[in-house]
């Protein structure tokens, strides 16, 4: 099956080469798509160089920071329009271990989407401080309590999809701007009757670069969860 990994990028120059190296080490002939929002830390130039030297790497450049949701929407449309059958979402800061890819690809044979979860047996978070741990746990508890549907890690960004599901959900119909997009996508898929398998992942705190998570993103997620519920 034709597969692609989509990675949004905003100033991740210190980890991009290692992420690409680890992905290729795990799945040598995989296609990789980066969506860069005009990074100013050298990421843009690194990506241009990677794209020049590999047929498997493609970069979509955007003029400014336009949000995680629209970056993924652009990536999903690219995957749909280029005949990819399987799409994986992954962060560019090495928090998601490419070694898990084989497990994602094995499990997607038996379901419509696979969620990488920090909150099932065997899953965990490494090196997060107590505050960050609490925010993530509370965010997931909040989404799970309001939306239900048996997803243990609504806010996680390491997931694999059958492209048909993304096509049916229709990326243009998604409302989120920030990280609530990750919740919206999973909730919509489950509500439309698609099947999900969760696999444990170990999420490691970024060792380089800066977090893009901010209070605006958290506030959006808080009210959006209710809007997803009410819209159903």
Ligand X SMILES: Nc1nc2c(ncn2[C@@H]2O[C@H](COP(=O)(O)OP(=O)(O)OP(=O)(O)O)[C@@H](O)[C@H]2O)c(=O)[nH]1
Binding site for ligand X (CB under 6 A): 8-10, 12, 35-37, 65-68, 71, 91-93, 95, 157, 206, 211-213
Within 101-214, residue ranges assigned H as helices are 101-107, 130-147, 163-169, 180-191
The option from Mg ion, ligand X, none interacting with 212 (CB < 5 to 8 A, set by class) reads: ligand X
Q: Which residues of 193-222 are buried (b: 16+ CB within 10 A; e: fewer)?
A: ebebbbbbbbbbebeebeebeeeebeebbe
3-class SS at 147? helix
Identified binder of Mg ion from the candidate list 31, 36, 37, 93, rule CB under 5 A: 93
- Euclidean distance between CA atoms 139 and 155, whole angstroms: 7
Minimum Å gap between C-beta 30 and ligand X is: 17
- Contact stretch for Mg ion (CB under 5 A) within 130-138, 189-197, 201-209, 214-222: 201-209
| CB neighbour class for 122 (10 Å; exposed up to 12, middle 13-18, buried from 19) | exposed
**Which CB atom, from 95 or from 136, has the smaller least distance to Mg ion?**
95
The residues near 207 (Cβ < 8 Å, ≥ 6 apart) are: 15, 94
Identified binder of Mg ion from the candidate list 89, 95, 160, 163, rule CB under 5 A: 95
The option from ligand X, Mg ion, none interacting with 74 (CB < 5 to 8 A, set by class) reads: none
3-class SS at 50? helix
Minimum Å gap between C-beta 14 and Mg ion is: 12
Minimum Å gap between C-beta 180 and ligand X is: 12
Minimum Å gap between C-beta 23 and ligand X is: 13
Minimum Å gap between C-beta 109 and ligand X is: 27
- Contact stretch for Mg ion (CB under 5 A) within 19-27, 107-115, 168-176, 204-212: 204-212
- Euclidean distance between CA atoms 121 and 153, whole angstroms: 12
């Amino acid at each position: 099956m034709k597969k692609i990994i989509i990675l949004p990028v905003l100033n991740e120059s210190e980890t991009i080469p290692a992420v690409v190296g680890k992905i290729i080490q795990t799945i040598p002939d995989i296609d990789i798509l980066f969506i860069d929002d005009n990074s100013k830390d050298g990421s843009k130039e690194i990506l241009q160089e990677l794209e020049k030297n590999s047929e498997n790497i493609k970069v979509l450049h955007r003029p400014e920071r336009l949000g995680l949701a629209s970056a993924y929407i652009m990536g999903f449309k690219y995957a749909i329009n280029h005949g990819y059958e399987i799409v994986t979402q992954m962060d560019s800061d090495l928090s998601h271990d490419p070694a898990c890819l084989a497990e994602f690809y094995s499990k997607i044979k038996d379901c419509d989407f696979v969620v990488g979860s920090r909150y099932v047996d065997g899953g965990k978070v490494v090196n997060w401080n107590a505050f960050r741990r609490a925010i993530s746990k509370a965010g997931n508890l909040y989404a799970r309590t309001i939306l239900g549907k048996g997803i243990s890690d609504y806010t996680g960004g390491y997931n694999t999809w059958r492209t048909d599901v993304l096509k049916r959900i229709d990326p243009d119909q998604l409302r989120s701007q920030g990280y609530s997009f990750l919740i919206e996508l999973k909730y919509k898929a489950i509500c439309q009757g698609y099947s999900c398998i969760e696999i444990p992942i170990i999420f490691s705190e970024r060792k380089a670069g800066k977090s893009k998570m901010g209070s605006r993103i958290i506030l959006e997620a808080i009210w959006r969860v209710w809007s997803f519920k009410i819209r159903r």
